[in-house]
Amino acid sequence: MHLTLRFLVLSLSLLPVDLSARLSSGRDSIAPLINPNSKNESGIDLHHPNISSNLQEVPYVYETLSNGTVRLTAQNNTGVEIVGDVIREGPLSGEIINEFTVQAGGTFVFVDDDVLPGITYLYVFEYFIAGNPLPVINLDYITPVATMPALGSFNLVAALYDDVYDVLRDGQTIAIENTNIQAEANDDYTGSVVFYLNGKRHHDNTYPFSLFGDVAGDYKNGRLKDGTYVLTAIAYPEKNGKGIPGDTATVSFTVENIYEIAVNLYPNPIRKNSMVQVQGPANSPIVIEILGNDPGNRSIIYQGTLDDTGRLQHSLTSQDLTKGIYILSVRINNRVIQKRVIVE
């Protein structure tokens, strides 16, 4: 189901919290305009006296292409300029993926190639029409499909815990220590992914497809020198990069292994209390987590910033932990450092 809203709102976060739950998935035709005498599902009167009667929606269409991408096309028939953005919310996060200005009579076309076939995404197509203070907000659930090997986003994986912790975005600066890079792929069509890192060829024949490889989902640690990298991934239907190539994805990133960051835990094993000591860039944001053997079993034990000297000491108690092995995960800026913790 498609939903169009016209009211005083500057942020999607101000929408009713249960709005998304009331929307159904899937749409691949031009969005119908709401009946002038009706109300939308949020109960907002689209013809409130404060809303201009000259406000006209822009017809648009989402198309799911054979390579698993999503194409949005909109025709500005309002007679004036429109300015807006496109937001995509997926399993990991929501983000603005495009900002646009379309002159009167112009056409807006955007292709989103950072999606994975079979996953349902919430798209928000919102814009302001010149001369009107109120935005038009359109929400649609779209599920990409593919009939060929297709790729989604590049993901950063904490190798010690085999946990995806962020999306690798174009132009991002990362620390690669203890991190692997996974290429999302539709494994029902993809038999292998060939990676080219600054021209050097790597390949992975099994899901999840990763730059530095894995054994049955147990990711290997990656190591790269400081510098700028271009990573290209190509999906193939057969092992070892054989067959007709499918989707291609490319990302540029910079590696800065900030080796002055240090994390110490003493004593380890923990019998009662231990001290976590961290050294890093001054005033940097830091999050410390304890990870169990279940991906959903994680607890934030500290969130804040390093002091003016780049130091932090935080007490860790075994009171709420049963005996066993855990992972202490420390994230500073875009770098994640993980250490094994034994509770006795």
- Judge if 296 and 317 occupy the same domain: yes
The tens digit of pLDDT for each residue in 283-330 reads 889 999 888 766 567 788 899 998 887 789 998 887 778 888 888 889
255, 279, 310 - which closes a domain: 255
Number of domains in the chain: 3
- Judge if 115 and 195 occupy the same domain: no
- Judge if 54 and 163 occupy the same domain: no
The tens digit of pLDDT for each residue in 14-55 reads 333 333 332 333 323 333 333 333 233 333 333 334 334 445
- Output the CA angle 113-118-120, nearest 5 degrees: 80
Cα gap 323→344, rounded to integer Å: 5
Q: What is the CATH number of the domain that holds 335?
A: 2.60.40.1930
Residue 121 to residues 20, 23, 26: CA-CA distances in angstroms?
11, 12, 9
Write down the pTM of the prediction. Answer: 0.57
- Judge if 174 and 133 occupy the same domain: no
- Judge if 47 and 91 occupy the same domain: yes
Any residues with CB less than 8 A from the CB of 148 and at least 6 apart, and which?
Answer: 66, 67, 68, 189, 237, 246, 247
83, 111, 142 - which closes a domain: 142
The tens digit of pLDDT for each residue in 253-278 reads 998 865 567 788 888 888 778 889 88
- Judge if 244 and 281 occupy the same domain: no
Any residues with CB less than 8 A from the CB of 68 and at least 6 apart, and which?
Answer: 115, 116, 117, 144, 145, 146, 148, 150, 151, 152, 186, 247
- Judge if 137 and 80 occupy the same domain: yes
255, 276, 308 - which closes a domain: 255
- Judge if 316 and 188 occupy the same domain: no
For residue 278, what are the domain limits? 262-343
